[in-house]
Structure 1
Amino acid sequence: MTTGERRIPYWDAVAATKTFTHPLHLPWLDGINRQAAILDYGCGYGRVMNELEQHGFGNLTGVDTSPAMIERAQLLHPALHFATLDTPPALPSPDAAFDAVLLFAVLTCIPADEAQRRLITELNRLLKPGGFLYVSDLLLQDDDRNRRRYDRYSAQPDNSGRYGVFETDDGAVCRHHSRDWLTTLLGGFEAVGTRTITVPTMNGHEATGIQILARKPVAT
């Protein structure tokens, strides 16, 4: 079974138990109108969507590949709009449909370079010129536990990403990223801001993360 085939069953199985923790840095959203169309791609159980609503944002859409995550989101936040992605990364939305896209702890769940590129290409299509892409994810860690995990997975035949891919104890294949790779991946966007954060992982370990705010260029 490939990594992609394992991904949705894994998230369906853990949908009721996982807690996600990447913080929403609200000052980055100060310049966005409260009625702007915002997409939370990989919304999980709707934690960030709920926080956005609490801060006055009213045009929110959350999508995720896991039907069980979407079911949990709808139960927790029945007033918000959620949908399951049938053919990820594609969304059945027109070009330039959104003013901002959030991508919180999603790249870590997509080990392969090309799959990450396809996702960023789709999000670029969905964003209006001048719209914002807000990425929050995990950097390569330098502790012994993670280095052993990276080295162990690098020998696997289905290692479809660069150094930093690993398998968690409960069976998720994930990826931590170099700053250089994230800069390359987002090369079509204009950098607006970067933050280094410390965040608990979904399995309770402390990790170094990064948040990036980028803008889709306006054609001239």
Structure 2
Amino acid sequence: MNLLHRRICRSDSWALRMHSQVLPWACKAVPLDGDVLEIGPGYGVTTRWLLDQGAHVTAVEVDPDLAGGLRREFDGRVDVHTGDGAALPFPDGSFDTVVCFTMLHHVPSPGHQDRMFAEVARVLRPGGTFAGSDSRVNLRFRLLHIGDTMVAVDPGALPDRLRAAGLEDVDVDVVPRSLRFRATRG
């Protein structure tokens, strides 16, 4: 992430927007009281919210510095792993729920995103839920990502991609700035 993007993602205003608007919308009717895997928590804004919902959280963060910051901040309350969401270090069927928020566009290619979706399906328990959100492309979003990885997710193609990964009961909702998705493992 570029410097401006990092600053925004650490800000109180970003945390307020995520906690009051995006996360309640993205997680409506998503079970968060069991074993929850969060992929790409970044600075932990979403992780704090998940803990407040009663989740037992495991996090996988690709950036070693951010993962270290999460370990220090959560001091054992979250099991933090440094790694790639497309190569998860967990046995099959390890989690009740897997979530990711505003991070899919940072995954370097659609193929890499698809490998992540397949890994999510693998580590979910039967009947488990994959849910999350991501930003939609607009001018502000493009400007914020100058010098960053930005591989926007096409909400129209996402249902087929999630099904191809082995998920079912796929639902994708779109609002002007964001998309949310839910799917289950059969």
TM-score by length of 2: 0.78
Instruction: Measure, in 2, the Cα distance between the counterparts of 1:135 and 1:33.
Output: 12
Q: C-alpha deviations, 1:87-139, integer Å up to 9, x for none? A: 55212211000110002122201242211111111111111111000021123
**Are 2:41 and 2:61, in contact at CA under 8 Å, matched by a contact in 1?**
yes
The total of aligned residue pairs comes to: 172
Instruction: Measure, in 1, the Cα distance between the counterparts of 2:144 and 2:118.
Output: 26
Q: Which residues of 2 match residues 5-84 of structure 1 at below 5 A?
A: 10=1, 17-19=7-9, 22=18, 23-25=22-24, 26-29=27-30, 32=31, 34=33, 36-57=34-55, 59-78=56-75, 79-84=77-82
Q: Is residue 180 of structure 2 the alignment partner of residue 182 of structure 1?
A: no
Report the counterpart of residue 168 of structure 1 in structure 2: 145
Q: Which residues of 2 match residues 113-192 of structure 1 at below 5 A?
A: 113-141=110-138, 145=139, 168-169=145-146, 171-187=147-163, 188-191=166-169
Larger radius of gyration: 1
**CA shift in 2, pair 1:111/1:92, >3 Å:** closer
SS in 1 for 2:28: helix
Q: Is residue 174 of structure 2 the alignment partner of residue 196 of structure 1?
A: yes
Structure 1 or 2: more helix by fraction: 2
Q: Is residue 107 of structure 2 the alignment partner of residue 110 of structure 1?
A: yes
Identity of aligned residues (%): 24
**Are 1:15 and 1:72, in contact at CA under 8 Å, matched by a contact in 2?**
no
TM-score by length of 1: 0.67
**CA shift in 2, pair 1:74/1:15, >3 Å:** farther
Q: C-alpha deviations, 1:144-190, integer Å up to 9, x for none? A: x379x6xxxxxxxxxxxxxxxx9823x10202232222122112322
Residue 33 of structure 1 and its aligned partner are, at CA, apart by: 6.5
**CA shift in 2, pair 1:53/1:83, >3 Å:** same
Q: Gapped runs of 5+ residues in structure 2?
A: none
Q: Gapped runs of 5+ residues in structure 1?
A: 1-9, 150-165, 199-207
